[in-house]
Chains A and B, each alone.
Chain A
Amino acid sequence: MKSEDFRALHAAAISARVAAGTLDPAEVVAASFARAKEVGAGREELNLVLWSDEKVAQADAVSVKKGMGPRGGGGSLAGVPMAVKDNIATLGLPTTCASRILAGYVSPFEATAITRLRMEGAIVVAKTNMDEFAMGSSTENSAYGPAHNPHDVRLVTGGSSGGSAAAVASGIVPIALGSETGGSVRQPAAFCGVVGVKPTYGRVSRYGLVAFASSLDHIGAFARNVDDAALVMETISGIDPRDSTSANIPVAKYREQFVSMATTPTPLDGITVGVAGEYFPEMLGTDMRRLCDRALDLLRSLGAKVVSVSMPHTSLAIPVYYIIAPAEASSNLARFDGVRYGMRRSGSASLREMFGDTRSDGFGPEVTRRILLGTYVLSAGYYDAYYRKAQSVRTLIADDFTRVFAGTCDVLFTPTTPTTAFPIGQITDPYEMYMSDIFTATANLAGVPAMSLPIGRSNGMPAGGQIIASHFCEDKMFRVAYALEAALGGEAHQ
């Protein structure tokens, strides 16, 4: 099939045609690989894709066509090619977390989210580049080199799920999985001009997501539009007996409401959108402010009420996040010792040396820095002042959301990031890099669902607007996003 035809099809459309028998999954897979070649997704160019195998993907396509999945050829994602961030376990393709310490590691088990998508007929075509162990906001911290933004190759894709965001943005796949700990789906979604969703904590099973910070990690989704993103979320959400932190709460049918919304001029009647001054600080650029104002005007015209709210503890998010996340990471990454899997430095005189050499060789500088920071804030004498303190302040941040959602507003609207994508190599100070998460990390700390969608361009680069809802109120979040997306139309990408 022609490249532009492939790229014009949304995931829902692809699966409908495959189910009807009018589209061969093999053609779709071929188009995906062709597009990847066309844009230069590989190492020497955009460096979005780390691992892929066309033969295996085509074999999967044959299975889907033969209806070998339990749902036959009628799965809701039948024949849809998808990219997967390289920290999510897949069978067949490696899972390296863009780290040397997992070079060549092929997981002998698959993430629950992957299983659920494959049960619906989706086909994994690529594992994508990322910041090593999801630690970063630019996909520059990869052991395999930085990823380049398809809109401007000198600029970052954002991170840590940069490869997946860019794969969708460049049309290689209509959907992709990423992960979030402080904003690693929403931020690259904003930088690349696609939709990026972080669900409520516990909504999607973490089984198979390589842990970075357990209380902050989420699997999230990228898509070119809200409908596809909602479809992916519907598919992967739900309790999992293999994840003790997954929630026993039924998954709503997020897309059902979209049908009726198309026919009403004010689909957001009765919805109140909160705007918090803390997310519109002095340093926010005029372009970003203008785009957000435009979005808010549209929301009003769609029937929403817009009110001012206060989220006073927002500025504490980065300090709190950068104590809790590295602390949990320092413990989660202790398993990488070269004993049972992954890289092992050979020639060590003793076991102690083997551990030290393997880990020092295997981890990049940002990972090393965060492990040290995390170990420090957990260590004797510092645990109370840092880790325990941060967890307590986390409650204050979460309470800000609880308070505003308790009767003042249904969702919040904010810019997703303070700026658009910055040049590769520009930000070298660690803390300055951490500040990219300033508007996104709060949702991870509170566990509330949040998503980014394109709301326009600034200097030619995509800008994202963020919608945050209350726990397990993804349906409201999608409602507002869907309406805004429709109202923006082509202007979202101008």
Chain B
Amino acid sequence: MAVSHSEVKHVAELARLTVSDARLDELAAELNGILVHMDVLARLDTSGLSAPSPAPGCTHLRSDSSGPIPLMAPREAFAPSIREGFFTVPRLATHEVTEAADAAGPTP
């Protein structure tokens, strides 16, 4: 399977990476150069297999009253922009707000 220029562009969008058109072509070639080695996997029959559980034998559960992990420095020490206790970012455009609504999540 070969990765196209438009697929790399789409993937870069999904990953929020700004990539120039010229670099997109380079990246498509680089990714194809890597993915060609994965073809060997397609030839294997793995129909009876399932992925292992990420942490076999572990269902770690935490008590509801375990208490918070303390921060050893205030948020102001590492936040790029903080005002009245809020993290701030450039104001979202309307369509960005509605996009979040789309993400099947809570009302923004």
Contact = CB atoms under 8 A, between A and B. Distances in A.
Q: Please determine if A and B sit in direct contact within the complex, based on CB atoms under 8 angstroms apart.
A: yes
Interface residues of A, number: 72
A237 B52 CA distance: 23
Contact of A350 (B15, B46, B90): B90
A90 to B, nearest CB: 11
A395 B50 contact: yes
Contact of B49 (A202, A316, A341, A392): A392
A241 interface: yes
Given A109-B71, A339-B87, A369 B30 contact: yes
Q: Which of B14, B15, B49, B89 has the most CB of A within 10 A?
A: B15
Given A106-B77, A351-B90, A389 B42 contact: yes
Contact of B69 (A242, A247, A339): A242
A306 interface: no
Contact of B50 (A322, A390, A392): A392
A270 interface: no
B17 A376 contact: no
B31 A248 contact: no
A379 interface: yes
Contact of A337 (B16, B30, B42, B69): B16
A354 B77 CA distance: 21
Interface string A274-288: 000000000000000
Interface stretch (A158-166, A168-176, A357-365, A410-418): A357-365
Contacts of B33: 429-431
B37 A319 contact: yes
A364 B40 CA distance: 29
B19 to A, nearest CB: 7
B105 to A, nearest CB: 15
Contact of A392 (B1, B35, B51, B80): B51
A37 B92 CA distance: 49
Given A105-B78, A244-B55, A379-B11, A389 B41 contact: yes
Contacts of A241: 60, 62, 66
Contacts of A320: 41
A352 interface: yes
B78 A341 contact: yes
A330 interface: yes
A371 B87 contact: no
Q: Which of A349, A363, A369 has the most CB of B within 10 A?
A: A369
A386 B1 CA distance: 11
Contacts of A318: 37
Interface in A167-194: none
B101 interface: no
A388 B42 CA distance: 11
A372 B90 contact: no
Contacts of B38: 319, 322-323, 386, 390
Given A109-B69, A110-B72, A356-B16, A341 B80 contact: yes
A395 B30 contact: no
Given A342-B80, A376-B3, A322 B34 contact: yes
A373 B31 contact: yes
Contacts of B58: 202, 244-248
Contacts of B93: 350-352
Contacts of A395: 46, 49-52
Q: Which of A320, A343, A372 has the most CB of B within 10 A?
A: A372
Contacts of B14: 375, 379
Contact of B90 (A348, A363, A430): A348
A369 B17 CA distance: 10
Interface in A185-223: 202, 214-215
B16 A359 contact: yes
A20 to B, nearest CB: 32
A371 B17 contact: yes
B77 A319 contact: no
A457 interface: no
Contact of B31 (A344, A369, A388): A369
Contacts of A388: 51
A243 B78 CA distance: 23
Nearest to B93: A350
B44 interface: yes
Contacts of A454: none
Contact of A338 (B18, B70, B80, B96): B80
A14 to B, nearest CB: 28
B51 A106 contact: no
A108 interface: yes
Contacts of A363: 17
Nearest to B80: A344
A408 interface: no
A246 B60 CA distance: 9
B6 interface: no
B75 to A, nearest CB: 8
Contacts of A396: 44, 46, 49
A371 B15 contact: yes
Nearest 4 CB-CB pairs, A to B? A391-B51, A356-B18, A392-B46, A108-B73
Given A247-B55, A339-B89, 5 more contacts: A109-B70, A244-B60, A356-B18, A386-B38, A393-B44
